[in-house]
Amino acid sequence: MDADARRRPRRDALRLSALLMSGGVLLAGCASMPDSGDVRAVKASPRADSQVRVYAVQPRPGADPGEIVAGFLEAITSDDANFVIAKTYLTPETAKTWRPEAGTTVLEAAPDRGASTRGDSDNPGMDYLLIGKQIARVDSQHAYQAITPTDYRSTIHLSQQNGPDGKEWRIDKLPEGLVLGASDFERNYRPVNKYYFAAGRNHVVADPIFIRQRMDPITRMDPVTQSVKALLDGPTNWLKPVVESPFPKGTALRKGVTSLTFDDRNVLKVPLNDKASNVGQTQCDRMAAQILFTLKDLSATRVEQVELQRSDNSQLCVRSSGTEEGYAPDHALGGTGKQYFIDHDKSRLAVLPDDAKNTPAYVPGPFGTGQVPMSKVAVARDERRAAAVSKDSRRLHVASIDSEGEPATTVVQSRGKTESTRLSAPSWDRNQDLWIADRDPAHPALLRLANGGGPAQKVEIVEGLDGARIDTLRVSADGARIALLLEKDGRTALKIGRVERRGPKDNPVVSIADLLSVAPQMETVTAVSWAGPSRLVVVAKESGGVQQVLYLQTDGSTSATSVLPGLNGVTAVAASNEENRPLVAHSEGDGIVRLPAGAGWQTVVPKGSSPIYPG
């Protein structure tokens, strides 16, 4: 499944039907034409349809202020080169200073025009109020961030200018950047993951952004070239403190390059400026690997090789598709990606069978014999050890699961008075560090155990906790991000934090910074698992809605196919970092269930709990 299918913003709640037309006149705005099929007129934000192409139309002579505002709002939804026609709705002075690339405000639907106000001697002209419900903001780095749906109000001001046909209304003040309804944003933009190396490490971290579906109006770059340019521009501000790029500072596409082409062997040639001309082979290989990761889900043409070129067109290095996998977060850890669960009868850790007719296999060691009754569990990413929380959630034990004879070690104890105020489920990162939250209201703490052993180190959360208590945590496969379910005032919210490591590599001081809301539209989120480089699977409920299992991106964006087939009473869900692997979940009515690709939920074990993948 490509990134475009995985990650699109919510469609508008209300959709308008497209009008068929055998001929007609548009007073102002845009004519919309499909790439194929009949010609039809389409109002902005009717629905997301990647086949629809919107073509901007200049304002008609003598257009009234309302027509100018409506025409401009429709013109900015087009692929108009450099928004030239959209700028004809602006005064010449405003057209020179308007920066559509400054960012995008995303509303649930196309902005409505509120009441108009005629100015006075101090403020001649007309004011038009734009209103809507804002759901996201995309900044100048193309980073999308969902927000709690919020009333949006802004003003467009118009004044009369001298034109060839006499006085004409034009816009002289307007909101910064673009203001688009969700379906127009979906039609015009697509998601892509840029990739950078984790700071001081040899594996990559995804950095999700949105780029134009087709040609970028400002740069005139196609999606492949846009993605490479965005990669060279560097990581987004949120991720920047924990990643690094082997591209030398100032590296960019060679001056004048607006399109990257494939040769007849599907080799993508990337000409760079002179900042990169003297890099060594190892550094260049890492640079090419970043491009291969970034383009993996983007290009309709398979990239067989990436060739980086110096400013004089000579070859810098070549890297073949597939070889970049050596930098994947889980590469070389030795795990098999099995699915595990806790057996109901004897509280033993078992491997989920491939088929419901088969018998589960219990792991070697104390967790597989029933010696350590457990309520929650996590398996290390190399699948050699596991961490289990005791039945009463008071103690955390660590033991081998690939050999017999070694006893379980107790590494953390909670003093919470009830099960719900003691230890959370644990989580392992790729560095084999073990994470867990003590939910004791008197001594709340996020704890990290280096290499899965003691002593437990308290991890500071720099900002964004806002008095909430950590209920659940999951560390990403790359170890650079952590998903937290935070409980406050009876609501459980999902946030993503950046994992920062300072000091010596073998004994860093670790903290969590800049918690970002991922599901602001949800009343509560009860379970979460990482499901890919920048994707989560969650169990959540909107206000007044029913429980859903759905995919969310770490930036809060969703897709039209985000909601998964219905399943009642879900208490836990787990996904692999490999997105082709099936989901597993626990349902109060069905036991341990699995969701294979293209099928419905299937019961694998009627009784059991805590279904997990390694991590």
Ranges of H-type helices in 362-495:
366-369
**CB neighbours (10 Å) of residue 255?**
9
pLDDT tier, 201 (very low <50, low <70, confident <90, very high otherwise) = very high
Question: Which DSSP symbol is given to 123?
Answer: S
Beta bridge partners of 572: 586
As a dihedral over the C-alpha atoms of residue 548, residue 551, residue 557, residue 558, rounded to 10 degrees, the angle is: -70
Give yes or no for residue 303 having a pLDDT over 50. Answer: yes
CB 187 within 8 A of CB 50: yes
**Residues 210-262 pLDDT 10s:** 999 999 999 999 999 999 999 999 999 999 999 999 999 999 999 999 999 88
Among 467, 423, 474, 443, smallest CA distance to 576 is for: 474
Give the separation between CA 360 and CA 381, rounded to whole angstroms. Answer: 20
What are the residues facing 386 on neighbouring strands?
379, 399
Are 473 and 485 a contacting pair, CB within 8 Å? yes
Work out whether strand 305-309 and strand 267-271 pair parallel, antiparallel, or are unpaired: parallel
Task: End-to-end CA distance of the chain: give it in Å, rounded.
Answer: 22
pLDDT value at residue 23 = 35
- Asked whether the beta carbons of 146 and 517 are under 8 A apart, the reply is yes
* Separation between Cα atoms, residue 420 and residue 394, nearest integer Å: 10
- In the block, tokens 């109000």 appear at 153
Q: Which of 82-86, 164-168, 438-442 has the lowest mean pLDDT?
A: 164-168
* Mean pLDDT along residues 40-46: 35
Give me 457's structure tokens: 């180190």
CATH code of domain 340-612: 2.120.10.30
pLDDT above 70: residue 472: yes
The 8-class DSSP code of residue 484 comes to E
Q: Which own/partner contact pairs does 464-467 have at CB distance under 8 Å and 24+ positions apart? A: 464/495, 464/497, 464/513, 464/514, 464/515, 464/516, 465/515
pLDDT band at 51 (very low <50, low <70, confident <90, very high): low
How many C-beta neighbours within 10 Å does residue 491 have?
Answer: 13
Cα 249 to Cα 273: distance, rounded to the nearest angstrom = 11
Assess contact for 601 and 590: CB atoms under 8 A.
yes
Residue 577 has pLDDT above 70, yes or no: yes
Strand partners for 194: 207
Give the confidence band of 464 by pLDDT, cuts at 50, 70, 90. confident
**For tokens 């401009």, what's the residue?**
72
**Alpha-carbon span 398 to 413, nearest angstrom:** 12
CB 236 within 8 A of CB 141: yes
Cα(175)–Cα(155) distance, integer angstroms:
7
SS3 114: strand
Grouping H, G, I as helix, E, B as strand and the rest as coil, residue 368 is helix
pLDDT in tens, 287-299: 999 999 999 988 7
CB 496 within 8 A of CB 518: yes
* Domain locations along the chain: 3-187, 215-327, 340-612
**Alpha-carbon 375 to chain mean position:** 31
154: nearest Cα among 133, 135, 178, 128: 128
What is the separation of C-alpha 332 from the centre of its chain, rounded to a whole number of angstroms?
A: 25
3 state SS of 507: coil
Residue 76 pLDDT exceeds 70: yes
Better-predicted residue by pLDDT, 306 or 55: 306
Give mean pLDDT, residues 317-323. Answer: 95
- Reduced to 3 states, what is the DSSP secondary structure of residue 613? coil
Length of the chain: 615
Kindly state the percentage of the chain with pLDDT values over 90. Answer: 74
pLDDT of residue 21: 29
Distance CA 423, CA 475 (A): 16
Count of alpha carbons within 13 angstroms of residue 469, beta-carbon side = 18
- As given in the structure block, the two tokens for residue 54 are 């919107």
Instruction: Supply 95's token pair.
Output: 């057209």
pLDDT of residue 490: 87
CA dist list (Å): 154 to 74, 174, 249? 17, 8, 38
Q: If you write DSSP's letter for every residue of 252-307 in order, what string do you get? A: -BPTT-----B-TT-EEEEEB-GGGTT--HHHHHHHHHHHHHHHTTT-SS---EEE
Which three-class secondary structure state does DSSP give residue 102?
Answer: helix
Helices (H) and strands (E) in the chain, counts: 7, 40
Is 50 exceeded by the pLDDT of residue 582?
yes
Could you tell me what percent of the chain has a pLDDT over 70? 90
pTM comes to 0.88
Average pLDDT over residues 349-373: 91
Residues 6+ apart with CB under 8 A from 354: none
> What is the mean pLDDT of the segment spanning 117-135?
87
Mean pLDDT in residue range 538-549 = 91
Alpha-carbon span 65 to 86, nearest angstrom = 15
